[in-house]
Amino acid sequence: MTARMKNPALVLPDAMTGIQHLLTATSRSNVPGSTLELVALRASQINGCSACVVGHVQVLEKAGETAERLATVAVWRDAPFFTDAERAALALAECATRLADHPGESVPDEVWDAAGEHYDEQQLAGIVLMIATINFFNRLNVTVKEPADNPSWA
């Protein structure tokens, strides 16, 4: 795949600065880095962002993530490899990514409450900001056809 243009966040340098600040804030939320990366990977899978899927898999592999967990993120509900806290974060990521799929209440109270059982307010803020930021990146990358094998931001 050939990109339609350079990534918009790189065309307008101030945009990347803002994005980097958001990502720094999420990393300081006391959520395990692997959980944030799993959340980003799952949202990227849902959005069909191959560049982000490849990038997050690479980050998780470098961090020592197992092949079983990487292979089953898309089917996390049925896979025995995830903690209850990770499952709550993944459920939140799915709902917050698929806002239009849930008429009435996009993020049901039961999903939010399950996340709240495992994460405090600061951590929930980090997870929600990560979900929003990766959805933003996914939309940029999919729109400009960012290639998975040679992304402009790598």
Residue 135 has pLDDT above 80, yes or no: yes
**What is the number of H-type helices and E-type strands within the chain?**
8, 0
Specify the 3-state DSSP secondary structure of 52. Answer: helix
**C-alpha torsion 17→49→46→76, nearest 10:** -90
Residue type, position 105, single letter: E
- What CA–CA distance (Å, rounded) separates 119 from 137? 24
Residue 77 has pLDDT above 60, yes or no: yes
Structure confidence at residue 152 as a pLDDT band (50, 70, 90) = low
Least confident of 96-100, 111-115, 146-150: 146-150
Structure confidence at residue 1 as a pLDDT band (50, 70, 90) = confident
Domains of the chain, earliest start first:
33-144 (1.20.1290.10)
CA nearest to 90, candidates 30, 44, 24: 44
**Its pTM surpasses 0.85:** yes
pLDDT at residue 153, as a whole number: 57
pLDDT tens for each residue of 53-63: 999 999 999 99
Average pLDDT for residues 138-145, to the nearest whole number?
96
pLDDT at residue 151, as a whole number: 66
Residue 8 has pLDDT above 60, yes or no: yes
- What CA–CA distance (Å, rounded) separates 128 from 149? 28
